[in-house]
Amino acid sequence: SSNDVFPTAMTIATYEEAYHSLLPALKNLKKSLEKKQKDFEKIIKIGRTHLMDATPLTLGQEFSGYVRQLENGIARIESTLPRLAELALGGTAVGTGLNTHPDYAEKVAKEIAKITNLPFITAKNKFESLAAHDVQVELSGQLKTVAASLMKIANDIRFLGSGPRAGLGELQLPANEPGSSIMPGKVNPTQSEALTMVCVQVFGNDTSVGFAGASGNFELNVYKPVIAHNNLQSIKLLADGSNSFNENCVIGIEANEKRIKDLMESSLMLVTALNQHIGYDQAAKIAKFAHEKNISLKEAASELGIIDEDDYDKFVVPGDMTHP
């Protein structure tokens, strides 16, 4: 019956694409980010929370967060595969297996597993596999989560590379093509922009899959075409987007160490290191005074008579602020 053949085809297609296309792409991107994490491990920079200056960390630590996001994303996709491997074939019209041999479902699943070299098995409950496609909704949710991770990473990288003179300018991104039809020499972060658009599409696809998965009536969900289309599209977009972002952006990222150092040394949030020595209120007074007078924290601390410059240098060491 088309009622069990169609969901079986959907299962095989989404499993194969996730396994053979998406997972390798995410693993390659993770590997490149891991290399950048190591390359940048000794570069101390200012952190940012609420888009405002925060305490220091290393650029490597910042990239380690991206690596972990991808590790989790890969694990999420892989965790869905065992449930995705269950085949509806043999359920026939409504899940009872009417008009099939008693051993058909088991044998056909083994044959499909042999042909594809993937661990497909017959569904434990054919009524569920025809009437509901919860595992496809689950897969879509995992794809959406990966997209959310990639969008955060791509946005961070393009903002850190903004400039080159009036932006943050902490990263130097590869110049893949001229970025403006009117402004000579302008280069835009097109790889980040492309990946974020991919992620937006995946978010939309997931919304549709959620509604479609919830719309099965009684013994059959008839929304299989939109579920299959959207999940396959999301997988392809994320795989292709990750490969392009990796090859044309991440591999070529370089740190602008001078700019990073200048921004870090000028940050008022280095004053946080003084909390344990002079207390929060006195430290806040130094930061506000430095900001109002447009002077350094060290100068502000000295002028206010709260702490002398020698003690300031002893207590405020950015490198010591990057660990407990």
Q: What is the pTM (predicted TM-score) of this model?
A: 0.96
Domain co-membership, 167 together with 290: no
Look at residue 132 and tell me if it is in a domain. yes
Residue 44 shares a structural domain with residue 153: yes
* pLDDT band at 285; cut points 50, 70, 90: very high
What is the tens place of the pLDDT at every residue in 40-92? Answer: 999 999 999 999 999 999 999 999 999 999 999 999 999 999 999 999 999 99
pLDDT at 157: 98
CB 216 within 8 A of CB 132: yes
Q: Are residues 65 and 188 both part of a single domain?
A: yes
Residue 35 predicted with pLDDT over 80: yes
Catalytic residue set: 50, 180
- Domain-embedded: residue 98: yes
Q: Do 103 and 81 belong together in one domain?
A: yes
Confidence at residue 16, expressed as pLDDT on a 0 to 100 scale: 98
180 with 43, same domain? Answer: yes
In a domain, 196, yes or no: yes
Q: What is the pLDDT of residue 177?
A: 83
| 262: in domain | no
Query: Which CATH number belongs to the domain containing residue 232 in this structure?
Result: 1.20.200.10
Which one of 257, 276, 295 terminates a domain? 257
Q: What is the pLDDT of residue 150?
A: 98
pLDDT value at position 106? 98
Q: Is residue 187 part of a domain?
A: yes
- If asked whether residues 178 and 91 sit together in one domain, one would say yes
Range of the domain at 316: 267-322
Q: What's the angle, vertex CA 211, arms to CA 207 and CA 214, rounded to 5?
A: 140
308 and 196 housed in the same domain? no
Both structure tokens of 255: 């740190």
**Residue 68: predicted pLDDT:** 98
Q: 153 and 289 in one domain? A: no
How many domains, in total, are found in the chain? 2
Rg over alpha carbons for the chain, rounded to the nearest Å, is 27
Do residues 21 and 239 make contact, with C-beta atoms less than 8 angstroms apart?
yes
CATH assignment at residue 297: 1.10.40.30
CA 150 to chain centre: 3
For residues 153 and 298, membership in a common domain is answered with: no
Q: What are residue 7's phi and psi, to 5 degrees?
A: -65, -30
The pLDDT tens digits for 137-148 are 999 999 999 999
Inside any domain, residue 34? yes
Q: Are residues 247 and 273 in the same domain?
A: no
Residues 239 and 275 in one domain: no
CA distance 193 to 202: 15
How confident is the model at residue 180, as a pLDDT?
85
Q: Where is the domain boundary, 230, 257, 284?
A: 257
- Quote the pLDDT of residue 203: 98
- Per-chain mean pLDDT for the chain: 97
Residue 216 within a domain = yes
For residue 181, name the pLDDT band (cuts at 50, 70, 90). Answer: confident
Determine whether 236 is exposed, middle or buried from the number of CB atoms within 10 Å of its CB (0-12, 13-18, 19+).
Answer: middle
Q: β-strand 86-87 against 121-122: which pairing, if any?
A: parallel
Sorted by sequence, the CB contacts under 8 Å of residue 189 that are 6+ apart come out as 157, 158, 161, 162, 173, 249
* In the chain, % of residues over pLDDT 90: 97
What is the percent of the chain where pLDDT is above 70? Answer: 100
How large is the average pLDDT for residues 252-280?
97
Tokens at 80, concatenated = 């869905």
The 8-class DSSP code of residue 57 comes to E
> pLDDT tier at 179 (50, 70, 90 boundaries)?
confident
Is 154 inside any structural domain?
Answer: yes
97-109 confidence digits (pLDDT tens): 999 999 999 999 9
Q: Identify whether residues 301 and 188 lie together within a single domain.
A: no
Specify the pLDDT at position 119.
98
Residue 178 has pLDDT above 90, yes or no: no
Q: Which of 257, 278, 303 is the last residue of a domain?
A: 257
Asked if the model's pLDDT at residue 197 lies above 90, the reply is yes
End-to-end CA distance of the chain: 62
